[in-house]
Each structure stands twice: as C-alpha cells, then as structure tokens.
Structure 1
Amino acid sequence: MRLSQQLPLVGLLLFLLFPAHLCEICAADSKQQAKISPLMTMMIQTKERSPALDPSILIALRLARQDYKAAEKTFLERVKQTITEQGETLSSGQLALNILALTAACETHFVTTQNLVTKLEVKFRKELNSIGVSGHPLTNYYQVGLDALTLCLLNGTLPNQTAEYLSVKQNKYYFAGQFFVDTGAVAVLALTCLNRKHPDQNISNTITQFVGMILKRKTKDGIIGNIYSTGKAMQALFVSSEHYDEGAWNCNETLQTVINQISEGTFRLPITAAQVLPALEGKTYLDITQISCLPSPSADLLHIWTPKPGEPTRQPTRNIFVTYRVVDLINDHINDSTSVSVPKGSVFLKVMEAAQAKNYTRFWFTTESSDWGPYVTSVRGIEANSNDRTYWQLLCNDQPLSQGAGSFVVSADDRLEVKLSKY
C-alpha cells in the first residue's frame, strides 16, 4: 500500500481500536450451527468457476466460525487466477469483491504487488464521472457502494464527494417502486466505514435515512425486502443500532426465520448461501480486515451434508394448472396468455418451456446461465437491452419475484408473467 494511502498513525490506531460492531450481534448458536451446515457444504462442493461466485464464497468461508483450509485454498487460487487472467476486464464491483476476498484470506501482499487498490480507484472514479455526466454509474449503485467500502477498508484514496454520491437522492435506490434493500445495505456498510474514520454529521444523517428505508421493508416474520436481501440487511443493521430505536428490529426473529428457510431449499444456489452465511455467523464485511492471519490447525468439513430423499426438491405427484402471459407494452404491444399444465413442484422456467412447446411462435424465449441460475434474455426475439435499460421481469400474481426463473416454485392457479420493463 502506498504511504500516501495510509491513515495518520493516531487515526489508524483509533480506527483499529473501534469495535467491528456498535451493537449486540445475534448469531447462530451451537444448535443452529448444525442447521446452517448445508450452506457450507453447498459452497464447498461447487465445481463451477466464476468471477462473481468465487470471492463471495471465499469471504463467507473466512468469516465462518470454523476453518476449512482445503476449500479456502481452492477458492483463493480461483480468485488469484481471475485477477491474473481477467483483472483488466472486471467491473469495478467485481474487482472490489475480489480484493475483499484476498484481504479476508490474508493475501495483502498479492493485493499490493498487483496494484489492485490503485486499479480500483481508477474504476471507481469512472463510476462517479458517469454519475456526474449521465445520472447513473457505468454499472449500478450496488457496485459503487462495494467500491467505496473496499477502498475505505483498505485505506484507498476516495474523492471528497464519495458520501454525497452514495446519499439517498432521486430514485437511484429504487426499482419498480421498491427500495433496493441489498444496495442500501452495502451503502450503509460503506458509509459506516467512512464515518468511523472521519465522523461527520451529514454521513450519520444519511445512514439514518438508509436504515429507516431498510426497516420499512421488514415483514412480520423478520424478512427484510426478500429472503435473499435479508443477509445484507442484517449486516447493515448490525453496525447501525444507534440509528434506529430499540425494538424496531428483532434480530433473533430474523435469524430464526432465515435458518428455517435453509431446510426448505431456499438457498439452493451457492451464491445465495454465500450471501447469507456471514450474517448467520454474526459477521459483516467490515470484519474482513479483522480476520486473524495467524496460523491455525488444519481443519475441514467433517460431516458432509446430503439432502434426505425428497429434500429440498420433492418428486411431483400430480400436475397443476397455471396461466402464463407475455407482455411487451414498450415495443410491440404484445399481451398473449395461455394455460399450461406442469408437474407439482415445477419452477417458473418449466412453465415457460411448457408454453413454448404449446405455441412456439407466441412463447419462444432464450436464457443465459448465471450464478443465480438461468436469466431470461429474450422472449419472442425481443432482447433485454442494457443501452435501453430494459429487462424481462418475472411476476407471479402481479408481484415481482425475488427468485429467478430456475428457482421460483409455482403453485396451482398462479398467474405468471414475463414483462419487458425498464430500470
């Protein structure tokens, strides 16, 4: 790290003496640890390499209570390979996540020799320049928040107006009228890091605004936004208890609700497991620089979890009927629907395939693979277009889905819809 990037000695010591959290943390107890072991097993056993998936898993493993040295070594090598082969082409957020993973794995020497902090500074400035010119970043505000968090934790150079760019303004944290919980949560983590280093009332006020918006998305069972954004929301609320009233959030209720979802197969993808595990361990991304780098006894997963017959996916016993509709009111004013029969337990994608088999001309579609499962790229030849900021939105009974086409399990009489929408 360049000397110019170091905090003044006194400030650095004060920052290191700050507790990683400013509130009481809820985390899985010894009994609950057994219930979260399937998440660990799922991450460790994944074979697919991915610039998005690998660093998230490595961070989750390093923040976990137990050491899994063999798995950590595997994912560390994958992260290093990604940096070596694809470093220049990674988006700012992807680079930031890889830097965090390397830091969590005590590979600060690799970060320094590869000059990764400086490279992230350059990418971050381009994001901010794009916001200034076009009103939106080159990527998205989740990545911008991740950039700021990483540069703050590693003492990189941040423009003076960083907090202003992260502030709650206009609709940059909203999508289809809904607040982006995970994006707001990452902003809280970044702003908390900035505020701990250089206390500022304006930053504190912004954190309070974000926390209020996050808590507004809390449901009666403790889920915040949706089940997949809850992990990041928990991290944000862990570090910001001074910004909300006592009793505004029951941490243990949220923790138990999330743990209960594990056995239901909700976190069946490795990326979803990696997103939620740190919070279940009572950790946040602010803890990454606090991980001990002292040698520890080699350990590995002793009991490999395997799903019992019928878990989490049960064999269908009968067929159900659902309606399926394709809507494009932006270009061709398409509004076609049909009724299809699929086996009970089918996911949204199976409904799309059934409709396509029934009438290819009206319902054909294409997908691409991603860490979050199949992503719908086109329907009836109409492609989602990042330049036009359009995408194919999935809905069930008029409600946008928080799961992908390959994950959301449909129910009898559901009204399913793919709709070309703008973001």
Structure 2
Amino acid sequence: MLSGTPQSYPQREPLPRKKGRMFPWALAVLCALCAATSATEKCTVPADQQSLVTELQRSMESSVILQSPPNPSILIALNLAGGTQDGTKEKLLVQQIEDRIIKEGTAEMTSGEVALYILALLSSCEDPKRVTADINLVEVLTLKTKEELTYLSYHSTPKTTFYQLSLDTLALCLERADVDEAALSLAKEALAKDFSVDTGAMATLALTCVHKGLVKAEQSRILEPIHEALDKLRQQILRAVETNTANTYSIGLALQALNVTSVSYLSGDWSCSQTLAKVLTEISQGAFDNPMAAAQILPSLVGKTYLNVIRLSCSSDKVMVEYTIINQLRGQHFTHTIPVSVPKGSVLLSVLQAAQQDNPQDFSYKTEQTSWGLMVVSINSRAADSNDKTYWEFFNGTEPLDQGVDSYIPSNNEHIKAVFSMY
C-alpha cells in the first residue's frame, strides 16, 4: 500500500480542497519564481540558509522506515534534490516499491498509482519497463490510461480522477509513449472545466511535457488546444492563490507548474530574495513538516520539477549486461536471455543475482566454494556432474572468460553467455 495519509493516494487529490491556512505571500512566490527566467536575479536559496532545505530533506528521509508503506512522492522529491544523504534510504524506498508491485501485482492498482511508481523508479535510474521479466509498468499504465479515456468518453469523467489522468499522461510522456489521445482529452477537459489547484498543476506539467515533444506535422492538430489549456490552467492557478483556495500542500505543485511555463509574470515590488526568505521562514516554522508537503515543495526549492526525473544522471553509476544461459547438451534444452542492470564495477556474480531476482524461474543458480574460487555448479536446475564431465562455461560473446564469477567485472553492454558444456 502507499502511504496511509490521504494526500498520498493518487485516486483523489493529494489533500482536500478546502480554504485552510493560506500564506499571504503565496502569489508573490508564484510570480517571482515564474519570472525568474527573465529577471537578472537568480531564484536560488542563499548559501547561509541552505541548511533549512537540507533539514527539510533530512526530515523527509527520517520518515522512511522499514515498516512504512512505499511512498513514491518522497523518493521522487529526494532524488530531484540530489539524492538521499543516507543511500540506504533510497534503496529501501525502491525495494518497497518493487516488493509491492511483485507481491500484490498491478491489477488492483489505479492508473495514478502506477504512474507515480514509474516516475519514482525513473528518478532512481531504475527501468519501469523491467521491474521483473514479466512486469512492464509502462505497458500496464498504457492499458489503464486507455480504460480512463474510454470511461471518460461515456461518463464525461475519468474512471478515477483528472489528477490521475494527468499523472498518467506525464509518466507516459516521459517514457516517450504515445499520449496524443490522452493529452488531447486532458486539454479539452481543462478548457471545459475548472480544475482544482493540484489537478491543474499536474495537468500543466503533463501538457507541457507533451507540448515539448510535438514536432511532427500530423501532431499539429493538438497544439492549439494544448496551448489554450496551458494558458487557462496558468490563470486558474494564479486566481486560486489570490482567492485563498490553495493551501500549504498545493503551493509546491503550483510552483512546479508555473515554473515550467514560458510566460513571464510581473513581480511588482517582490524580489526573488524577499520571496525565498519568506518561504524559508515558513519552513523554519514547521509549515512543511508533513512529509508529503515537503515532497511537493522541495523540488521547486532546488529549481526542479517532475519533468526533470528523466534528466538525472544515471549512466555513470550503472552498466547494462545481456545475460544468456544455454543448455543444448543434457535433458530439456533451453536458451534464455535477460538484460540486467548492475552497479558499475560489479563482478559477474552480481549479474547472476540480478537475473535470478528478476526471473527466478529461469535464472536460478547455485555455487560452490573451491580452491580456485567460487564456481557456478547449477543454472536453471541443470547441475554440473563430474561423472559425465559436464560444467557451466562462461563467455564474453564468443571468448571464454579467464576469471571466475566472483572476480570478472563485466563492462557496459557486454553479452555474457553461460553454456552447459563438457570437458
């Protein structure tokens, strides 16, 4: 399950839409930050107050414990802010997400939950298309988004909410899936309805992502409604702030949405430094102590939005290895191939471990310690046997490896083969 707080469930708004506490400086925050691209003053947290942002991040990390349900929003925010200070917390969050997907499946998940998991895995440089060999979250989300759109066509409302449909569109857009139909439907609905602040902000992020990718001539038919929808959503967000219908938990997403628009706003007497000083004052007074509120505001404080999850640096930390096991010698023959990702510098044994974790049915293995080092004695239940002189031989392409699985270090895009052989 996702976090038990109501705002963490994507099937409804992150928090109830009510007229609660509203910061008097909120409109100025929005205007000043959104105008930052055209102003000479940079919208960055002063060095002497960076500790407040660091403390906000540390507080979010402390909310992540072994027994807690997976919270993709916190993982996204922490990664956008540069990663967790305690590396084990990121691994724990990723593991919690993957465990839930594997143990509970995706059938009962809403489309928005799947979309959040995709964004979270992307932010941690994990491939949502390969949670396991049999679970491709992008395919799952594509089908669930089609269900949302079909329901929308008959009932004038999606199967869940427009907030979730916006999340779906954003996640699929970042994965470069075909989202033209979803984006066009979302734009038309945004023009016909008045979205809440959170829904409008998420729709803005999604439509901005799609708009940036519209380069083909045949896609021009959806450019105009998307452009019109973005303009209306931007004005709605500003008006909601003015009329105090945006609350503490909405301000973060509102900042993200307006920060990706290309329109400059008049900032009046507000300077960026004054605006950020007020934001940081509210942080110091505990306004964002709730982990979900912190997760929404943190990306904007470091100049990031959900659109940045695919721009995080991943390639230097991981290597991709194609791993194939082949038995054409004894018993039932088989050939299985799986791509796996392991940390750079990992030994071959880590590849076997990752393959077994992704697909234990085909890539299980056993090892024995010998005087020559660790030896693989069985793969996919096919065991080596000294009586018939069989063993598992490893190759880099067509070249036999001259090192054992506990010492050989594969390089990126290497093809490792394990072949059941005779000596």
Q: TM-score, normalised by structure 2?
A: 0.57
Q: CA deviation at 1:197?
A: 0.4
CA distance in 1, matches of 2:50, 2:275: 16
Aligned partner of 2:197: which letter?
A: V
User: Given the superposition, is the C-alpha separation of residues 106 and 66 from structure 1 closer, same or farther in structure 2, using an over 3 Å criterion?
Assistant: closer
Deviation per residue, 1:362-382 (Å, 9 max, x gap): xxxxxxxxxxxxxxxxxxxxx
Identify the residue that residue 59 of structure 1 maps to in structure 2.
76
Amino acid at match of 1:215: L
Measured after TM superposition, the shift of residue 141 of structure 1 is: 1.1
Query: Would the aligned equivalents of 1:22 and 1:241 in 2 still touch at CA under 8 Å?
Result: no
Q: How far, CA to CA, are the matches of 1:291 and 1:22 in structure 2?
A: 22
Q: CA RMSD in A?
A: 2.8
Structure 2 residue corresponding to 1:286, chosen from 273, 284, 307: 307
What whole-Å deviation, never above 9, does each CA across 1:169-197 have from its counterpart, x for those lacking one? Answer: 44451xxxxxx111101111111111100
The Cα offsets for residues 216-260 of structure 1, whole Å up to 9 and x where unpaired, read as 22349xx98222111111111111033x54438866555433322
Distance change (3 Å), C-alpha of 1:37 and 1:103: same
Distance in 2 between the 1:26 and 1:283 partners? 12
What is the aligned residue count? 266
| Deviation at residue 295 of structure 1 after TM alignment | 4.6
Task: Report the counterpart of residue 212 of structure 2 in structure 1.
Answer: 196
Which residue of the partner structure matches residue 199 of structure 2?
A: 183
2:92 is aligned, of 59, 67, 74, to: 74
TM (norm. structure 1) is 0.57
Matched residue, 2:239:
216
Map 1:23-34 onto structure 2 (within 5 A).
23=37, 26-34=43-51
2:69 is aligned to 50
> Aligned pair in 2 of structure 1 residues 206, 264: CA closer, same or farther (>3 Å)?
same
Tell me, yes or no, if the aligned pair for 1:28 and 1:282 is still in contact at 8 Å: no
Given that 2:252 and 2:297 are in contact with CA atoms closer than 8 Å, whether structure 1 keeps it comes out as yes
Q: Once structures 1 and 2 are overlaid, which stretch shifts more, 87-96 or 259-268? A: 259-268
Q: Does the Cα contact within 8 Å between 1:96 and 1:120 map onto a contact in 2?
A: yes
- C-alpha spacing 1:82/1:250, structure 2 compared with 1 (3 Å): farther
How far residue 208 of structure 1 moved from its aligned partner, in angstroms, is: 1.0
Give the unaligned 5+ runs of structure 2.
1-34, 216-222, 318-342, 344-423
Cα distance in 2, alignment partners of residues 78 and 255 from structure 1: 34
Query: What CA deviation, in whole Å up to 9, does each residue of 1:321-348 have, x standing for no partner?
Result: xxxxxxxxxxxxxxxxxxxxxxxxxxxx
Using the TM superposition, give the Cα deviation of residue 111 of structure 1 relative to its aligned residue in structure 2, in angstroms.
4.7
Superposition deviation, residue 159 in structure 1: 4.5
- Alignment map for 1:20-419 (pairs within 5 Å): 23=37, 26-46=43-63, 47=65, 49-51=68-70, 54-65=71-82, 67-68=84-85, 69-86=87-104, 87-108=106-127, 110-111=130-131, 113=133, 114-160=135-181, 162-167=183-188, 168-171=190-193, 173=195, 180-198=196-214, 200-219=223-242, 225-242=246-263, 244-247=264-267, 253-295=274-316
Whole-Å separation in 2 of the counterparts to 1:95 and 1:280: 26
Segments of 4+ moved more than 6 angstroms:
none
Give the Cα separation in 2 of the matches to 1:27 and 1:91.
Answer: 36
User: 1: CA distance between counterparts of 2:295 and 2:205?
Assistant: 17
Residues in 1 aligned to 2:238 and 2:309: alpha-carbon distance in whole angstroms: 25
Percent sequence identity over aligned pairs: 35
Larger Rg belongs to: 2
Q: Does the residue aligned with 1:241 lie in a helix, a strand or coil?
A: coil
Residues 96 and 27 (structure 1), Cα distance of their counterparts in 2 relative to 1, 3 Å cut? farther
